Structure formats: structure tokens, C-alpha cells
A and B are shown apart, each in its own frame.
Chain A
Amino acid sequence: QSVLTQPPSVSGAPGQRVTISCTGSSSNIGAGYDVHWYQQLPGIAPKLLIYGNSNRPSGVPDRFSGSKSGTSASLAITGLQAEDEADYYCQSYDSSLSVVFGGGTKLTVL
């Protein structure tokens, strides 16, 4: 059971918009700690996609965006492309001095 809760799967057709939620608690996201998002393609290490709730590292398309409110955060992907099919993880920090991850969401492009 992950500290941060994500839907196991989401799907969308090419060109559509999808969102992935990440729900935490008052000891992590709700305590003001930043949320970061990672994309993991099959068989390779995760890649930082969004940092500090809504910032994109250099090279990440602006089709990817993040937001945070209260004890939750969301990742939105617009203009869905086949290459976006991957696992997505949210991550934050907890007042127990531990790093916490969501359980991951598998995105399927129909």
C-alpha cells in the first residue's frame, strides 16, 4: 500500500487529454512538500517529468503539466501521443523524514 494514491490505469485516444491524480495526506502533500512526477518507459529507469508541482525540466514537452492543491496533485497530458504510453509515478516527502511514491499509473494510448 503506497503512501500516495494513484489510479492504477488511465487511457485515452491520440490527441486527447488525460489526467492522473495523486492523493496524499496532511503529513506529505498537505504539509506543503512539493510533488514531482516521473515517466517510466518499459525496461528503463524513471525520468523526471515534472518537479516542484508544476515545473518542467528542459526537454519535456509542454504537453505535460502538473498542479497541486491541498493534499492532492495532478498530472495532465494534452495532445496524447503513442510515445506517451508508459507508467507514471508521483513522489513527495513526508514529515516522517521519508520519501514517498505513488503506486504508479499505467497510461494506455488507445
Chain B
Amino acid sequence: QVQLVESGGGLVKPGGSLRLSCAASGFTFSDYYMSWIRQAPGMGLEWVSYISSSGSTIYYADSVKGRFTISRDNAKNSLSLQMNSLRAEDTAVYYCAREWLRFNYWGQGTLVTVSS
């Protein structure tokens, strides 16, 4: 069965960096676009970024453009999100999800807290 497991969340100071990972299993990872979606505490869902199956096509939400970098390692069935210059408003649960036009599989999420 499809499994997506995020890791790497934690507490970081404003201006700091964090790298999230998502381990995928149960499907042919290299066949699918992958996405990151976040949810601030008590708030709605916000799309962050997606990456094509080969990694050649990448898009970001304006709110993270220039600060976050999405990448993937198809040999390791792994998706990553490098987050730099973190701000308080980046505090959220970060989910990895399969595909990009609709999300039929989600991970359990990892919490990122940006606070001094």
C-alpha cells in the first residue's frame, strides 16, 4: 500500500534553516509528481511546491519562492524540502502528497515551528 512518511520537522529560530524529507513506498516513486502542502495551526491548507517525476519541472507558491527548494532522489524514493530564511509565518504542519493536480495520498505530516 502507498505510504508517505515525513521527517525533519522541529523548532527553529527565525532566519534559520530546516530540511524536511518524505520517504515513499508502495508505488513506483519515479512515475509520479510529488508535492508539499502545509497547514498553519488552526488554519487551512496551503500548497507549497511540486516537482515533476524527473525533477525537471518545479513550481513554488509565491510565499516560499526564493527561500524553499524542493528536490527528489528517485533512486532512494525520497522527496525533500530545504527551507531557508524561515519566518514565524512558516510555522505549520508540512505534508508530502503524491501528484500535483489532486492529492489522493498524504503523509502524516511533520510540524515545523519557527520561534525565538
Contacts and interface: CB of A to CB of B under 8 A. Distances in A.
Contacts of B104: 48, 51, 57
A100 interface: yes
Contacts, number: 51
Interface in A18-41: 34, 36, 38
Interface band, chain B: 20 to 34
Interface residues of A, number: 23
Contact of A34 (B46, B102, B106): B102
Interface string A1-31: 0100000000000000000000000000000
Contacts of A93: 101
Q: Is the interface of A mostly helix, strand, loop or mixed?
A: strand
B102 A98 contact: no
A64 interface: no
B109 A45 contact: yes
Given A36-B103, A98-B59, 6 more contacts: A45-B95, A45-B109, A48-B103, A91-B45, A93-B101, A102-B44
